[in-house]
Structure 1
Amino acid sequence: MKIGLDIMGGDFAPKATVLGAIEAQKALLPGQKIVLFGDKDQALPLISENGIDPEVFEYIHTTEMIGMGEHAAKAVLQKPNSSISLGFQHLKDGHIDAFSSAGNTGAMLVGAMFSVKPVAGVIRPAIATNVPKLKSGFGIMLDVGANADCKPDVLAQFGILGSLYAEHVYNVQNPKVALMNIGEEEEKGNVLTQATFPLLQKTNLNFVGNIEGRDLFNDKADVIVCDGFTGNVMLKLAETFYILTLKKGFKDEFFDRFNYEQYGGSPILGVNAPVLIGHGISSPEAIKNMVLLCRTMIEAEFVDKIKEAFK
């Protein structure tokens, strides 16, 4: 097993990414290896300073990188030797089994769509995220940014992708799937949600109907389906809860679970290989957990589960 990591992506790269890779490697088993994409000359001193044998990693050296503010599609095309572009080329060629980065989200989406491509039958891949639940654990919300505008059949597929992810990666049996709406009644919502509701009813999913924003953190659903615009707004609001509790000096177990670090990264569901996007401010702990989530997705043969469902 080989897990690709872009060490140039993120606000604190390459230090945070390399330190995260070191911690992740400690948790990996024999035969599981991290491949570092980026400036090897910057990575080696950091590795040596921490008393680690550089040979535990593989390296794809490049000094070119895609900045956080660059136009995604142009950057991927114009920088074929960047850490992100090379990562996806190796993923496409089968040299690595997964690829992850805390760098430019748009570039990660473009790279995934044009290298490994969507699974046959998947209309639009989605970005999923974890949402803490008040009692314990967390739910899965998607999409949270890949698709600001959606059609009903796309949302229905998000329900399938999210259900597969909850079941096979997080071992949630028969996950409850709900549609985010402005009311619980079937006829509530805008044209999109009204048209999506009956499509979800016709699937083999454990569809429990509509939920409202106040249900985001309770146990009504394990998988919350929404368009990327709505999901991204809710995600950013949820992230703010954790920041506010820190600023106010408020310590609480529930709000501690809003800390992005423990979830590592957000997967792009529906493409032909595990691809994870980390938070731009990812710490070493977040990078470590992103790499380990890659491992979990590989071990679960998650992409094969999607292919089977959409056959």
Structure 2
Amino acid sequence: MRIGLDMMGGDFAPTEAVKGVKAFLDTVAADVHLVLIGDEQQLLPLVAEAQLDQSKYSVVHSSQTVGMNEHPTKALKEKPQSSISIGFHLLKNEKIDAFISAGNTGAMMVGTYYSIKAIEGVQRPTISTLVPRENGTYGLLLDVGINADCKPENLVQFAILGSLYSQHILKIDNPKIGLLNIGEEEGKGNLLALATYPLLKENKQINFIGNIEGRDVLSEKADVIVCEGFTGNVILKMAESFHELALRRNIEDDYMKKFDFEAYGGTPVLGVSKPVIIGHGISKGLAFKNMILLAQQMIESKLLEKIKESFVSNEKQ
């Protein structure tokens, strides 16, 4: 398999991206060829210094970079030789099997929508985050930011996508799906929650357990927690602050360390036809290594094929 990596994306590029590549190649025995997309003048000295196995990677030169604060659509249109643009070109033309970047999130989403397209039947692709639980396992929360306003049908699809991801990537059998709400009772919530509940309840593709409250998010009550992106993003940013708070207060706690985003790298865009993984702008070596591992898992598990099958069968019902 060939995994493309934007080496110029993120606040610490390309230095930390090279560290992540080295960590992956040094510790993972896999038939993976990495395609490193970036400015050769900056990249090649770092790659040489890292003493990477030359048979395990190739470099594709990019002469432009999309800045973190640039307008996504304008940047991709005006910078066809950027590392992000080239990455999507390679993915679209099947020169790579997955694409990873910690660069401009908006540009990554625009590139995904217009280059890769959604899987047939998926109304809105979504992004998720892992939720650390005290027993060492992880739950999944989605959407966490790209769909701030949603319809009930969107949340049902998020539940299906999250369920499939949990089964095939997190290895959770028959994952429990919970709808994030302000109360456990079926009649609680705003208009979106009230309209979504019966649709989840009647959907035979998922194991819906009902509403869950904010205090249940970090528990094992639900394996997949569904909400619209506005609420999900607030929870995500608050959870990230737990780790920062622990560091500032010199708190040594194994559970709190699990809130460090570096531990799981990035988030896949679920619902599109090829693997696209978006990393945090401040990603360092460990995060890049884990994003490559996630891309490898998605390809080996044939997750996208299973999502396509699920939505085809859903359309026929």
Match of 1:64 in 2: 64
Give distance in 2, aligned partners of 1:247 and 1:79.
40
Given that residues 138 and 170 in structure 2 are in contact (C-alpha distance below 8 angstroms), is that contact kept between their aligned partners in structure 1? no
Does residue 162 of structure 2 align to residue 162 of structure 1?
yes
Offset of residue 32 of structure 1? 1.1
Give distance in 1, aligned partners of 2:310 and 2:79.
35
Map 1:289-308; keep pairs closer than 5 Å.
289-308=290-309
Offset of residue 82 of structure 1? 0.8
May I ask how many residue pairs the two structures share in their alignment? 311
Match of 2:31 in 1: 31
Match of 2:276 in 1: 275
Given that residues 177 and 208 in structure 1 are in contact (C-alpha distance below 8 angstroms), is that contact kept between their aligned partners in structure 2? yes
Determine helix, strand or coil for the equivalent of 1:100: strand
Match of 2:315 in 1: none
Give distance in 1, aligned partners of 2:53 and 2:42.
15
Given that residues 128 and 141 in structure 1 are in contact (C-alpha distance below 8 angstroms), is that contact kept between their aligned partners in structure 2? yes
Offset of residue 53 of structure 1? 4.2
Given that residues 44 and 54 in structure 1 are in contact (C-alpha distance below 8 angstroms), is that contact kept between their aligned partners in structure 2? no
Give distance in 1, aligned partners of 2:250 and 2:92.
46
Given that residues 25 and 52 in structure 2 are in contact (C-alpha distance below 8 angstroms), is that contact kept between their aligned partners in structure 1? no
Offset of residue 26 of structure 1? 2.5
Given that residues 142 and 162 in structure 2 are in contact (C-alpha distance below 8 angstroms), is that contact kept between their aligned partners in structure 1? yes
Determine helix, strand or coil for the equivalent of 2:294: helix
Given that residues 47 and 54 in structure 1 are in contact (C-alpha distance below 8 angstroms), is that contact kept between their aligned partners in structure 2? no
Offset of residue 65 of structure 1? 1.0
Map 1:131-280; keep pairs closer than 5 Å.
131-204=131-204, 205-280=206-281
Give distance in 1, aligned partners of 2:108 and 2:311.
23
Give distance in 2, aligned partners of 1:28 and 1:261.
18
Give distance in 1, aligned partners of 2:25 and 2:89.
23
Cα 1:31–1:136 change in 2 (3 A) is: closer
Give distance in 2, aligned partners of 1:112 and 1:294.
15
Determine helix, strand or coil for the equivalent of 1:238: helix
Structure 1 segments unaligned to the other structure (5+ residues): none
Given that residues 3 and 35 in structure 2 are in contact (C-alpha distance below 8 angstroms), is that contact kept between their aligned partners in structure 1? yes
> What whole-Å deviation, never above 9, does each CA across 1:227-251 have from its counterpart, x for those lacking one?
1111111000000000000100001
Give distance in 2, aligned partners of 1:53 and 1:34.
11
Offset of residue 181 of structure 1? 0.8
Give distance in 2, aligned partners of 1:41 and 1:286.
24
Give distance in 1, aligned partners of 2:2 and 2:29.
11
Determine helix, strand or coil for the equivalent of 1:115: helix
Give distance in 2, aligned partners of 1:186 and 1:264.
36
RMSD: 1.1
Give distance in 2, aligned partners of 1:37 and 1:51.
18
Give distance in 2, aligned partners of 1:63 and 1:42.
11
Which is worse superposed, 18-27 or 83-92? 18-27
Give distance in 2, aligned partners of 1:7 and 1:110.
19
TM-score, length basis structure 2: 0.96
Determine helix, strand or coil for the equivalent of 2:108: helix
Which is worse superposed, 25-34 or 106-115? 25-34
Does residue 46 of structure 2 align to residue 46 of structure 1?
yes
Given that residues 135 and 218 in structure 1 are in contact (C-alpha distance below 8 angstroms), is that contact kept between their aligned partners in structure 2? no
> What whole-Å deviation, never above 9, does each CA across 1:245-299 have from its counterpart, x for those lacking one?
0100001111111111110111100000111011111010110001111000000
Match of 2:13 in 1: 13
Offset of residue 136 of structure 1? 2.2
Offset of residue 33 of structure 1? 0.7
Offset of residue 30 of structure 1? 5.1
Match of 2:2 in 1: 2
Match of 2:121 in 1: 121
Determine helix, strand or coil for the equivalent of 2:119: coil
Kindly provide the amino acid, as one letter, of the partner of residue 302 in structure 1. L
Give distance in 2, aligned partners of 1:78 and 1:192.
39
Report sequence identity in percent.
53
Offset of residue 28 of structure 1? 4.1
Match of 1:75 in 2: 75
Determine helix, strand or coil for the equivalent of 2:251: coil
